Amino acid sequence: MERVVYVVSDLHLGPGILPDGTPDPLEDFTAGEDFARFLATIGTGGDPVELVIAGDFLEIPQTLPAVGLASPANHLGSTEEESLQRVRVILGQSPEIASGHPEVFTALRTFMAEGNSVTIIVGNHDIDLLWGEVWAAIFDVIYPPGATGDLRLYEFCYGVGDGSHGRVYIEHGQEHDKANRTGDRMSMPFALDDMGVRRLKRCWGTLFVEKVYNELERDRWFIDNVKPIFKVISLGLRNDFRFTATALGLVATFLLTSGLPPIFGAGAGVLGAAGDVPMPTVDDLVSTLADDGLRAGIQAQLSDPAFRAEFELVFQGADPVTMGAALGGAAMSMILGDTSGESVVLGGFGANAEDDYRQAARAVLERDPAVGTVIMGHTHGPIDGYTNPISTSDRRTGYYFNSGTWTRHLKEQGRDYTWAEVSDLANYTASNTYIKLEPQADGSYKPTLINWGSANVKIADSR
């Protein structure tokens, strides 16, 4: 019989603890001990098993954030050496910068030493794994010499089972989110900048993290733990005025200047030199925002002198050429929804919405009759596929599961939180969901969504 497979996703391991003993404000993963116990529990005392990490294992854009800001072009990110520097921090090999998460990698190495296998699928937050030197560094830390199990990296998707039916298809899911897709299933992750330097391609969701979230999260740790961001901004306008004015300024600047296609480049010459272009007024720039709700919200606040002063501070550091192009329509302004594809308000276990992810799962099931279950991550919202099965055109029944996240999120979905509650760590939980795939006698696999954070409670255990 085939081995049992466990699927997790969205651990988002980042920089860890700073040298002064305080958590890095950009760190989202706090479940290191839980994850180590999870591996010890599933990986010892029985037949070898397989762990699949279905994307966003690492939180690279929020590690050494200055690296992301130093890229010469919006559509390009790190060089191989820069990505390696970031990953070494996460591995715990740069303690002068931050602790990283050596306990997780030690636990994975022990897991493999017991004869188990590890499969890692690349996500939008750790596309850097596709660099050869980066994967080599990860491999050296996790793989114990002589291990009988496999350590493998897949750029986009992975399949479990080889039977005639009931196979499992797994991918991260970022390709169904227009802010975070690459458009090529991670098959062409690199490009050359104007100096001929090879860099990662950078999706616009990552750009948003590096230009907006990283700045905001230093002051308010919870800013990317609540989705969508506009919900947080609306609360902040009433309760944290100065911070929210800054946030809106950063968001507006990003939306005005970071749309596709990228048209700004050093030496391009088509827009003139920065010194020749006067900075447009804030009122003119706000009026060009394509996002109706954001534009109206900002315009309603600009009559307040205190808000205007804080808001204008953000624009003072912007490039007049870039802003002038945005005002003239040469740059395509994005809307807020385009930048926040991971927009699920966390904490729920529903699977009823026929959204882009479920539609993509349906397409996989239609395309391959041997597949019975599709698993994704990315949205951080765990989904039990049994609550809303998918009926295919040939009258088969399939299932779409989401493995959730091991990062903190608000405990309750759907209710209105106050600003004080959003700021209170006591209102957050890390449910640490995973999916157990058990092989059946007929060659199929039975998926079960389980919550490791609640005494290993099964969310569903029967079809």
pLDDT of residue 350: 46
Check whether residue 289 and residue 333 sit in a common domain.
yes
Mean of pLDDT over the chain? 82
pLDDT of residue 415: 72
72-86, 112-126, 277-291: range with lowest mean pLDDT: 277-291
Q: How many CB atoms lie within 10 A of CB 96?
A: 6
pLDDT over threshold 70, residue 319? no
Check whether residue 18 and residue 138 sit in a common domain.
yes
pLDDT of residue 409: 80
Check whether residue 354 and residue 334 sit in a common domain.
no
- How sure is the predictor about 272, in pLDDT bands with cuts at 50, 70 and 90? very low
> What confidence tens digit (pLDDT) does each residue in 139-164 have?
999 999 999 999 999 999 999 999 89
| Single residue among 339, 368, 395 that ends a domain in this structure | 339
pLDDT over threshold 60, residue 277? no
Check whether residue 301 and residue 367 sit in a common domain.
no
Is 214 inside any structural domain?
Answer: no
**In contact, 389 and 396? CB cutoff 8 Å:** no
Residue 303's domain comprises: 229-339
Percent of the chain with pLDDT strictly greater than 70 = 78
Is 218 inside any structural domain?
Answer: no
- How sure is the predictor about 109, in pLDDT bands with cuts at 50, 70 and 90? very high
Residues facing residue 168 across a β-bridge: 160, 373
Secondary structure in 3-state letters for the chain: CCCCEEEECCCCECCCECCCCCECCCCCCCCHHHHHHHHHHHHCCCCCCEEEEECCCECCCCCCHHHHHCCCCCCECCCHHHHHHHHHHHHCCCCCCCCCCHHHHHHHHHHHHCCCEEEEECCCCCHHHHCHHHHHHHHHHHCCCCCCCCEEEECCEEEECCCCCCEEEEECCHHHCCCCCCCCCCCCCEEECCCCCEEEECCHHHHHHHHHHHHHHCCCCCCCCCCCHHHHHHHHHHHCHHHHHHHHHHHHHHHHHCCCCCCCCCCCCCCCCHHHCCCCCHHHHHHCCCCHHHHHHHHHHCCCHHHHHHHHHHHHCCCHHHHHHHHHCCCCCCCHHHHCCCCCCCCCCCCCCCCHHHHHHHHHHHHCCCEEEEEECCCCCCECHHHCCEECCCCCEEEEEECCCCCCEECCCCCCCCHHHHCCHHHEECCCEEEEEEECCCCCEEEEEEECCCCCEECCCCC
Check whether residue 33 and residue 104 sit in a common domain.
yes
Which CATH number fits the domain that encloses residue 30? 3.60.21
> What confidence tens digit (pLDDT) does each residue in 379-431 have?
888 999 999 999 999 999 999 999 999 998 887 766 777 878 888 888 888 88
Q: Which region, left, alpha or beta, applies to residue 404 given φ > 0 means left and ψ of -120 to 50 means alpha? A: left
| Single residue among 288, 321, 339 that ends a domain in this structure | 339
pLDDT of residue 262: 34
Check whether residue 94 and residue 12 sit in a common domain.
yes
Check whether residue 315 and residue 361 sit in a common domain.
no
pLDDT of residue 105: 98
pLDDT of residue 234: 64
The Cα–Cα gap between 287 and 412 comes to 36
Is 224 inside any structural domain?
Answer: no
114-137 average pLDDT score: 98
Is 215 inside any structural domain?
Answer: no
pLDDT of residue 273: 32
pLDDT of residue 312: 79
Is 190 inside any structural domain?
Answer: no
Check whether residue 335 and residue 377 sit in a common domain.
no
> What confidence tens digit (pLDDT) does each residue in 219-246 have?
888 877 766 565 666 667 667 766 777 7
Check whether residue 306 and residue 161 sit in a common domain.
no
Is 344 inside any structural domain?
Answer: no
Exposed/middle/buried for 107, CB within 10 Å: 0-12, 13-18, 19+?
buried
> What confidence tens digit (pLDDT) does each residue in 28-54 have?
999 999 999 999 999 987 899 999 999
> What confidence tens digit (pLDDT) does each residue in 341-366 have?
333 333 334 455 678 899 999 999 99
12-21 average pLDDT score: 97
Q: Indicate the number of domains in the chain.
A: 2
| β-strand pairing of 409-410 with 428-429 | antiparallel
Which segment, 124-128, 202-206, 415-419, 428-432, is predicted with the most confidence on average? 124-128
Check whether residue 335 and residue 315 sit in a common domain.
yes
| Single residue among 316, 339, 362 that ends a domain in this structure | 339
pLDDT over threshold 80, residue 460? no
The Cα–Cα gap between 385 and 230 comes to 29
Check whether residue 317 and residue 396 sit in a common domain.
no
Is 191 inside any structural domain?
Answer: no
Is 81 inside any structural domain?
Answer: yes
Check whether residue 170 and residue 235 sit in a common domain.
no
